[in-house]
A and B are shown apart, each in its own frame.
Chain A
């Protein structure tokens, strides 16, 4: 690859100054016009028929403008399975589900009015455990499942709570077990977690009498919000404008459409007003996506030499009350079910089951943390059974160039071995350092989980002075998308990043991008931006060619001047090319330069409904995590002594931001490994605040040694691939594996709280 000038450099974030000076505008920071404040009345039962809603007292409360209930929201909404009511109609399916919404002239009045709404329920039998929920006689969460619209790559079972059954059959599972010398069976459990971005979900809507709806949202995907609102409210897309300002963290919870629909009908009642809803921390935790809990069973066949010959994987996911998005997590975990390993015979059944818990949905990793927890713990059990080094088992079975995934997709551009060895070398693998100390490793892989037609596009406008505007539809939630895209544009345009402007998306002005999810934007939007930059550069050469009367092929552009490679004195400034577009005679040559780029994957396919075989991955990103721990046997407290993380970025567009992302994902993984578990009691979330739901803070975050590996991605822009989610995946199993190495105890679940570790130690001591 030719020398790169901008891609691969650590330029300062585009949003840096705004963010450190308090000037970055998040949506609650905007004053758009006269405002009404919305608050929800939430369900106080997990599953119940709504017998009556009495809003009369609330309506009489001073400051109240309007109260709407489910009957005012006639259509359902959803991304893949259209199962979700914006406000409950006839029945509620989870504790905290909206049953009414109030608009008032102050937040206080709205909150007071909510308390005055009286709702009468007839409680229904409920399901809180998906293993119970999938049984034929379980109470149904959705009686109408068979009538729901659905993208036809999902397989619900009407008359049950199974919203999707993903089947995968690779090779010959019976033959695989026959070839095995050992068979290992284990069960695992991963609890719900919450994303807890420090900015909660927020949305505002404005309706103008000409029929134009404007929505401001903390959405990771303004285009999908527009698409889903258009369908739900039966409006054409050009009449809906969705703006995502800076987002205070997403991690998946702000993907798809979340709370925007709540305020739309209220805005329609009060043209000229901006109706805004801001979720409290409690509402955010109970009422928005949680990570789906997973109950799993693994059965693995292995030969004496360490080769895995067969894998049977059953996954039962707690989809919660609505699984409009969750059905695809279940699918993604299914088609990826051999993790980072090449296993010839795989049989997987992955079930998404409705329960009356909070709504399940996407979280950083999109099922991979949960699914690969089982894989990476199972490999540890295999190593133990065979008396082999767990690193060796991973190296023997790890994917290499030409390996096939569980879906049978051939992977290219892989150096998993390097990912593993880099981190194990760093922590001094193989050396036992002390009685209560242990080392652990986990591999990881993830491809974006996106529809095969999920597209991105870009427009580049060259200004009259030769500076440029890059327009893309991705959201900036901290991942550094604006900066990375400006670097890719700079590389293609030859215009330096400090002469390029790029802003947050606005569907009326920025071109289409499906969603900022799945670690896909660097690749997909990057491809579109690169194409747009090349298109604009071609136009610069064509205009300059006319202006200078030199063939375009002879021209080169250094960011300031376009000049002839044969005679550098024959030149024009970019300003002359971009602005005058005229010859000295005054005749015009060309209008303003506008570059365009659009991208859709061509290497993905649908999957066979019976075997799950096909090409679901746009690209595969590998990595590894290694840790050394010391456990206090008296208290069960785990101390992280070393933590090393590697990720194969293909090409780090911005090495500094890539490293921050790698650290951030590793810390989120650490936080879930040690602290995080949402606790429900019959659907009621018991720990819906930061005191009861602890996340990692600076004082319990160790130093991380991070390694960016660069095995170029052949389809990626300048060889780059996305890495946003991946660093999280390996942390929990690596820590558990290290604790097992230290103490010889096993864990089938996490977080590894002191209590849980202490109990495991006591149990082992009791056994002698």
Chain B
């Protein structure tokens, strides 16, 4: 068995204490140990952005971070964006603009956009292009994504 470490962290507002295998990526930990499967794997090497989550409010590719680095930190995944049955305004804007097709890149895309709006409440097209350039969408919903992010940032 691989070596394990106890880590304490907050996930989607809830404090947790868990064992994490040394060497396990945060992505695998989120999916396999926390059973939060909204976070997706697309490349495992930080190229596609499907696995982006917020770690202490910063968007990170969870496939490039070790689970043990979660210790003492605050993790937000796509599941944490809707609270008490209320969707985040970005989620609603993605629906209103049909800013996705297959939906596989969507959780990562929304988390990147959330971090952008938190940092810059009224982003320009250039800001959006820069912030989301690490999130690949093969269905090509980019035009709708730009519109959705702008729409959500106005509210």
Contacts and interface: CB of A to CB of B under 8 A. Distances in A.
B87 interface: yes
Contacts of A665: 140
Interface in A664-722: 664-668, 671, 689-691, 695-699, 701, 703-704
B38 A248 contact: no
B133 to A, nearest CB: 4
Contact of B104 (A10, A26, A671): A26
Interface in A10-36: 10, 12-13, 15-26, 28-29, 31
B103 to A, nearest CB: 3
B81 interface: yes
Given A198-B136, A249-B104, A698-B132, A21 B81 contact: yes
A690 B98 contact: no
A660 interface: yes
A559 interface: no
B87 A198 contact: no
Contact of B87 (A12, A21, A696): A21
Given A21-B38, A251-B138, A199 B87 contact: no
Interface in B102-155: 102-107, 110, 128-130, 132-146
Interface in B77-116: 77-79, 81-82, 87, 91-92, 94-95, 98, 100-107, 110
B19 interface: no
Interface stretch (A69-77, A476-484, A523-531, A596-604): A476-484
Contact of A20 (B36, B102, B110): B110
B143 A663 contact: yes
Nearest to A195: B138
B43 A248 contact: no
Nearest to B37: A29
Contact of A697 (B79, B98, B136, B139): B136
A198 B146 CA distance: 19
Interface string B34-51: 011111111111011010
B66 to A, nearest CB: 15
Contact of A701 (B37, B41, B77, B143): B143
B100 A478 contact: yes
A453 interface: no
B43 to A, nearest CB: 5
A522 B50 CA distance: 29
Contacts of B146: 698
A300 B23 CA distance: 62
Given A16-B95, A20-B110, A695-B136, A478 B142 contact: no
Interface string A229-240: 000000000000
B102 A197 contact: yes
A690 B136 contact: yes
Interface in B46-68: 47-48, 50
A479 B101 CA distance: 6
A654 B153 CA distance: 27
A701 B140 contact: yes
Interface in A535-567: none
Nearest to B90: A20
A661 B107 CA distance: 20
Contacts of B50: 198
B147 to A, nearest CB: 10
B140 A20 contact: no
Q: Which of A16, A665, A666 is the most central at the interface, judged by chain B CB atoms within 10 Å of its CB? A: A16
A699 B133 contact: yes
Given A478-B101, A479-B101, A698-B132, A663 B87 contact: no
B84 to A, nearest CB: 13
A133 to B, nearest CB: 31
A22 B95 contact: no
Interface string A112-131: 00000000000000000000
A20 B95 contact: yes
A12 B37 CA distance: 24
A416 interface: no
A22 B101 contact: no
Contact of A246 (B103, B105, B110, B135): B103
Contacts of B44: 280-281
Interface residue range, chain B: 35 or more
Interface in A231-273: 246-251
Contacts of B98: 10, 13, 16, 656-657, 660
Given A12-B95, A689-B43, A698-B128, A199 B102 contact: yes
B102 A246 contact: yes
A698 B41 contact: no
B76 to A, nearest CB: 11
A19 B100 contact: yes
B95 A698 contact: no
Q: Which of B78, B101, B133 is the most central at the interface, judged by chain A CB atoms within 10 Å of its CB? A: B101
Interface string A462-500: 000000000000000111100000000000000000000
A480 B78 CA distance: 22
A698 B106 contact: no
A577 interface: no
Contacts of B135: 697-698
Q: Which of A20, A28, A667 is the most central at the interface, judged by chain B CB atoms within 10 Å of its CB? A: A20
A474 to B, nearest CB: 14
Contact of A668 (B42, B129, B138): B138
A652 interface: no
A22 B36 contact: yes
Given A19-B100, A21-B78, A21-B79, A248 B142 contact: no
A190 interface: no
A653 interface: no
A206 to B, nearest CB: 19
B142 A698 contact: yes
Q: Which of A10, A22, A703, A704 is the most central at the interface, judged by chain B CB atoms within 10 Å of its CB? A: A22
Contact of B140 (A15, A18, A666, A689): A666
B78 A660 contact: no
A110 interface: no
Interface string A181-207: 000000000000001111110000000
A24 B43 contact: no
B5 to A, nearest CB: 17
Contacts of A660: 98, 101, 139, 141, 144
B40 A704 contact: no
A238 B42 CA distance: 34
Contacts of B43: 281, 689-690
Contacts of A17: 87, 95
Contact of A21 (B48, B91, B144): B91
Contacts of B101: 249, 477-480, 660-661, 664
Contact of A28 (B41, B132, B133): B41
A700 B123 CA distance: 17
A110 B138 CA distance: 30
Contacts of A699: 129-130, 132-133
Contacts of B91: 20-21
Contacts of A18: 103
A191 B53 CA distance: 36
Contacts of A657: 98
Contacts of A195: 138
15 contacts: A17-B95, A20-B87, A20-B92, A20-B94, A21-B82, A22-B38, A28-B37, A29-B37, A197-B102, A249-B104, A664-B101, A664-B139, A690-B136, A698-B145, A699-B129
Interface of A: 10, 12-13, 15-26, 28-29, 31, 195-200, 246-251, 280-281, 477-480, 656-657, 660-661, 663-668, 671, 689-691, 695-699, 701, 703-704
Interchain residue pairs A-B with the least CB separation, the first 8? A22-B38, A248-B104, A478-B102, A478-B101, A667-B140, A19-B103, A22-B78, A664-B140
Given A31-B35, A249-B104, A697-B133, 12 more contacts: A21-B87, A22-B107, A23-B79, A198-B40, A198-B50, A198-B137, A251-B138, A478-B100, A478-B139, A480-B101, A660-B141, A698-B128
